[in-house]
Structure 1
Amino acid sequence: MIKMTRRRWLAAGTGAALAVGMAACGALGNDYTFSQSQLQAALERKFPFNKRYMELFDIQLANPQLTLDPGRNRVNVQFDATVDNRLFFRQALTGRFALDSGLRYDQATRAIVLQDPQVQQFDVTGLPPQFARQLNALGGILAEQLLQGYPLYTFRPDQLRVAGASVEPGTITVLSNGINVKINRP
């Protein structure tokens, strides 16, 4: 029988806890797989999104709904949108804003972020016709400038350490039921 020292006991317990934690996140071996529901929950924690643009428009995006497009390796996100500008509108305008986007890993923030988002829809209820073109242009700017690099999922530091070594996410693949992230080992 092998005598377990306290240090060996702690190391064995830590290793087992790490394996259980990684299995819970879908990470064992060389990748992580996050389900659509895990990603949806992570996304919901980051909203509502409020931004003032050009000191003229107050924009709020809320209630994000994530869908996956594995055929194009992209994600689609729809939001409830509110655009307010007391100078041009009597009351805030509401509607739907939808975009699709690629994904990439951002090392500085340890996050999977939106890459090259493209507006698919920007419909606003009650928009005066003379403002439709400007608002559509604003939607494109919102996607390209404000949501480029927006975090979809942020890794905890412990998720980027395996067996005491630092690892870094690599290839990101959109699946029909989640996102798979390959792990680059040193």
Structure 2
Amino acid sequence: MNLMLSQPPSPRFSNQISRRRLVGATLLAAVLPAGAPAFAGFNFFTNEYTASRVELQAQIVKHFPVAQRYAELFTVGLREPQLSLDALGNRATVTAVLSIASPLLRPSPMEGIVSVSSALRYDAATRSLRLDQPKAERLELQGVGGRDAERVQQIGALVAQELLRDQVLRSFTAEELTVGRKTYEIGDITVVDDGIKVQLR
């Protein structure tokens, strides 16, 4: 069997590659206006911006923990959020540790897990990508059973939805959306396998 050993590229070939890269960089600089921003995730040639799931996860964690009172008897809290994305359903899901505290509960607080899925919308006034009409899809509580279980789960699901309503996933600055003399607006929002893509128009 004859093995073909790869040879190092010739100096001439390497120089050709270097020249091509230089020409490409020069053309790119000529196309982009002076002072055009170079933000990760932005593609002004295709008029798109893609926020990775990792980036969005880092942003949403900053807004937790959160808590809200219900009927002056219950305090529902959420912490340790985890973001997942459903490209097929074009939705985002936040799964978090849920706690419910009340003098009516034994033990108190009770803890569990809640998953809330949501559509997405863009709020032009604040230049932010937000959760829209979140819905609790799954809620599991530890240490509750019998007749109280369904009522406590309903309270937990209701408050979790309220806590995540209009939750910010990504905010944009005016500088990020401005190239030369053109300021872009956010258009269609599409959930992809590992991120969220928005149209720049």
Q: TM-score range by the shorter chain?
A: 0.7 to 0.9
**2: distance between equivalents of 1:164 and 1:44?**
34
User: CA deviation digits over 1:109-153, x for unaligned, max 9?
Assistant: 221111121211111110142221112222342244332222122
SS of equivalent residue, structure 1 residue 64: strand
Q: How does 1:17-96 map to 2 (within 5 A)?
A: 18=37, 20=38, 22=39, 24-29=40-45, 30-96=47-113
How many residue pairs match? The answer is 168
Name 2:8's counterpart in structure 1.
none
Q: How does 1:116-155 map to 2 (within 5 A)?
A: 116-155=133-172
Please give the TM-score of this superposition, normalised by the length of structure 2: 0.75
Contact 1:35 1:179 in 2 (8 A): yes
RMSD of aligned residue pairs (Cα, Å):
1.9
Q: Which has the larger radius of gyration?
A: 2
User: CA deviation digits over 1:49-78, x for unaligned, max 9?
Assistant: 222223222111111111111011111111
The one-letter code matched in structure 2 to 1:43 is I
Contact 1:119 1:139 in 2 (8 A): no
Question: Structure 2: where are the runs of 5+ without partners?
Answer: 1-32
User: CA deviation digits over 1:143-185, x for unaligned, max 9?
Assistant: 443322221222223223232333221110000011100012x
**1: distance between equivalents of 2:161 and 2:107?**
28
Question: Structure 1: where are the runs of 5+ without partners?
Answer: 1-10
SS of equivalent residue, structure 2 residue 68: strand
**2: distance between equivalents of 1:131 and 1:27?**
52
The one-letter code matched in structure 2 to 1:58 is T
